[in-house]
């Protein structure tokens, strides 16, 4: 899985802003540009390298603290293995072609070093011309009967070779491994432990990172739990991916013609066949991609073939799932990933856009004009929930909007209660789809509402949120992460203040994906779902967290909430609402925090779409120290006995 970023978002943001300052300064002072910038360039390059190295060092520190197995860990793992009733044989499938000898030996050795003893390594040599390959494989097979090798007579490329290796497998589970990569010693044990904890599992995947020629690890991908929409965008399963062998047999193994994205095609077909409920994610780095220094990366043409194969696999998957009329595009800012454009209904449903407001005529005019004049949607009504506006400009605007656009204005005076305003407007709404919209939203492009409605109408989808930007183009919202924020740890926006051209870690700012919650500053949802869950909680959550609560109730009812980045709008955050922590608001805010904690405490602490190895303090991919992950051998750890005090300390 190619990565779209190698250093933290905050660091990249600082570098980009600093370079922008230098650029503006150089344009104002061309004579200094010619003399000073040539001196600065050689200073900036090593500085950026040092900053990137420091981030890599932080990950190495995290690996040392969180992932290094101490003697008591090894003993606990052995004790856990002994207690497991079922001990599945795991077949590691490895196609090989002309692998450099040191890397091939290291890959095999990493399987031989597994703490889980019930494995077999199934290797298909795809007619490698290099003589060392056959020699190394023969030595390995002679050394351990669990290693099975077959040499193909002719080169068939990756799919054919993978199927040859798969035919050698006799285990209940199959794990996929490339010929020059590495497994940590606990990898297969973790798979077996997950199978023991979830016997119905059919597909299991883990987090992953990269390792260089010297074993230095970098660029971790800490993944969310299974997300069908993210799998359409990229190969979420990837490595370490493990599948029930009978499932692999049923779906026919690897398909010729998908070389370069054969694993993505396999993951799509397997998860469609078994269902999302049988897909499990282990939030641990159980696979190290080998990055060979001095070896050329994919050429542009090879990368293009991989991306094209991925797009075809997704198109096939959607067609087999009964989805008609969808087309596959490249994700904006991350063209190696997919964007699925689902078919817009031939008879678009009526959409009710509900906008709560109190005065602020200039903001409201911009918002409504964007909806009625710059939005490409054929059937909508606008309802303004007026919370006691008194300014003449606002009242005049209401009258103009009624006459010009048929906007309905509902007088709803009284103390500000965002939930009550939306609920009362909802009772007046006629639309099949409801869009809750803040009065400080400004439309950027015409297709935002089509995008949101198209997703909202998909079976199984609940609330749909947009990609919201500040006025200067920086990112304000691309989904909420649970468990974030002070005080209370309820929820916070992901990706805040990222630059407009920043795709985010592994393109998470720019690909469609599942989230636990989205902001009601721009939220689309079917009216039937709102009726099912009861709308906003106006009794307990008048101002804060009402959207998070609504999304969690929608999720509890069995729907998936979605972030749709192709729906992009400007949002002037909190332009019409004060700071929740100001003295006059603090008591109300803390009461709402307590409501959320009492109602959703367990859910807030375990966001399935935010990996427990990632920090809840800074939502830009920083690491969690310590990790929130519960390791499967934890209950078997025996603490070392305390050493007796020496004579001096006793004295």
Angle 477-480-482 (CA atoms, 0-180°, nearest 5)? 155
Chain-centroid distance, C-alpha 327: 22
Query: What span, in angstroms and rounded, lies between the C-alpha atoms of 175 and 92?
Result: 5
Q: 425 in the Ramachandran plot: left (φ > 0), alpha (ψ -120 to 50) or beta?
A: alpha
The pLDDT of residue 316 is: 97
CA distances from 338 to 259, 313, 335 (A): 17, 11, 7
Place of tokens 């490329």: 157
Question: 85-313 in CATH: which number?
Answer: 3.90.550.10
Q: Are 466 and 568 in contact (CB under 8 A)?
A: yes
Query: What span, in angstroms and rounded, lies between the C-alpha atoms of 68 and 16?
Result: 35
- On whether the 351-604 domain is CATH 3.40.50.150, my answer is no
277: DSSP letter? G
Q: Are 498 and 13 in contact (CB under 8 A)?
A: yes
* Six token digits for residue 320: 């087999």
Query: What span, in angstroms and rounded, lies between the C-alpha atoms of 501 and 492?
Result: 22
The pLDDT of residue 574 is: 54
Q: Are 267 and 237 in contact (CB under 8 A)?
A: yes
Query: What span, in angstroms and rounded, lies between the C-alpha atoms of 448 and 344?
Result: 12
Written in H, E and C, the secondary structure of 498-564 is: CCCCCCCHHHCCCCCEEECECCCCEEEEEHHHHHHHCCCCCCCCCCCCHHHHHHHHHHHCCCEEEEE
Relative to beta strand 480-482, strand 491-493 is antiparallel
The pLDDT of residue 25 is: 55
- Averaged over successive runs of 10 residues, the pLDDT of the chain (651 residues) comes to 44 54 54 59 56 64 92 96 95 97 96 98 97 97 97 95 97 96 97 97 97 89 97 97 97 95 97 98 96 60 91 97 96 95 96 96 96 96 97 97 96 96 98 97 97 98 97 93 86 88 94 98 98 97 96 98 97 62 78 95 94 86 88 85 43 32
CA distances from 586 to 330, 415, 421, 540, 590 (A): 45, 16, 21, 15, 6
| Model confidence, pTM | 0.88
Q: Are 165 and 133 in contact (CB under 8 A)?
A: no
């Amino acid at each position: 899985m190619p990565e779209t970023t190698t250093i933290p978002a905050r660091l990249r943001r600082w570098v980009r802003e600093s370079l922008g300052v230098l650029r503006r300064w150089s344009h104002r002072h061309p004579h200094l540009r010619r003399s000073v910038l040539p001196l600065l360039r050689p200073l900036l390059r090593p500085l950026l390298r040092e900053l990137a190295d420091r981030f890599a060092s932080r990950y190495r520190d995290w690996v040392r603290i969180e992932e290094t197995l101490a003697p008591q860990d090894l003993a606990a793992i052995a004790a856990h293995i002994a207690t497991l009733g079922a001990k599945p044989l795991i077949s590691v499938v490895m196609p090989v072609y002309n692998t450099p000898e040191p890397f091939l030996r290291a890959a095999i050795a990493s399987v031989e070093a597994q703490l889980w003893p019930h494995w077999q390594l199934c290797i298909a040599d795809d007619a490698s011309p290099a003589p060392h390959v056959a020699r190394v494989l023969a030595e390995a097979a002679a050394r351990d009967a669990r290693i099975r090798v077959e040499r193909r007579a002719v080169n068939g490329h990756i799919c054919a070779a993978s199927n040859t290796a798969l035919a050698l497998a006799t285990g209940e589970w199959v794990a996929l491994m490339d010929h020059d990569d590495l497994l940590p010693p606990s990898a297969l044990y973790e798979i077996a432990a997950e199978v023991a904890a979830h016997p119905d599992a059919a597909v299991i995947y883990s987090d992953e990172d990269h390792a260089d020629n010297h074993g230095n690890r970098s660029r971790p991908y800490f993944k969310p739990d299974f997300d069908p929409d993210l799998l359409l965008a990229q190969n979420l399963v990837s490595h370490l991916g493990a599948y029930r062998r009978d499932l692999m047999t049923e779906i026919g193994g690897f398909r010729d013609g998908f070389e370069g994205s054969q694993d993505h095609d396999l993951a799509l077909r397997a998860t469609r066949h078994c269902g999302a409920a049988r897909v499990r994610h282990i939030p641990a780095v159980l696979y190290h991609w080998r990055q060979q220094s001095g070896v050329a990366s994919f050429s542009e043409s090879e990368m293009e073939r991989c991306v094209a194969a991925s797009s075809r696999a997704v198109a096939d998957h959607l067609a087999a799932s009964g989805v008609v009329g969808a087309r596959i595009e490249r994700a904006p800012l991350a063209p190696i990933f997919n964007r699925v454009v689902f078919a817009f209904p031939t008879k678009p449903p009526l959409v009710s856009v509900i906008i709560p407001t109190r005065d602020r005529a200039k903001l409201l005019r911009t918002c409504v004009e964007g909806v009625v004049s710059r939005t490409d949607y054929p059937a909508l009504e606008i309802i303004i929930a007026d919370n006691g506006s008194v300014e003449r400009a606002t009242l005049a605007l209401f009258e103009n909007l009624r006459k010009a656009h048929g906007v309905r204005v509902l007088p709803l005076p009284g103390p500000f209660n965002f939930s009550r305003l939306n609920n009362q407007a909802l009772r007046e709404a006629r639309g099949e789809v409801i869009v809750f919209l803040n009065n400080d939203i400004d439309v950027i492009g015409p297709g935002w509402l089509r995008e949101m409605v198209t997703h909202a109408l998909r079976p199984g989808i609940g609330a749909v949120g947009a990609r919201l930007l500040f006025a200067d183009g920086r990112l304000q919202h691309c989904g909420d992460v649970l468990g974030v924020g002070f005080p209370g740890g309820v929820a916070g926006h992901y990706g805040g203040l990222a630059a407009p051209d920043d795709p985010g870690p592994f393109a998470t700012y720019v690909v469609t994906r599942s989230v636990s919650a989205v902001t009601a500053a721009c939220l689309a949802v079917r009216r039937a779902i709102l009726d099912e869950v009861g709308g906003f909680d106006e009794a307990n959550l008048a101002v804060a967290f009402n959207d998070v609560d609504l999304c969690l109730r929608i999720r509890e009812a069995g729907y998936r909430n979605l972030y749709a980045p192709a729906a992009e709008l400007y949002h002037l955050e909190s332009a019409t609402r004060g700071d929740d922590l100001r003295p006059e608001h603090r008591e109300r805010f803390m009461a709402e925090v307590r409501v959320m904690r009492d109602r959703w405490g367990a859910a807030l602490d375990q966001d399935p779409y935010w990996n427990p190895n990632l920090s809840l303090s800074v939502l830009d991919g920083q690491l969690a120290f310590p990790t929130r992950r519960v390791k499967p051998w934890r209950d078997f750890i025996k603490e070392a006995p305390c050493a007796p005090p020496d004579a001096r300390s006793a004295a």
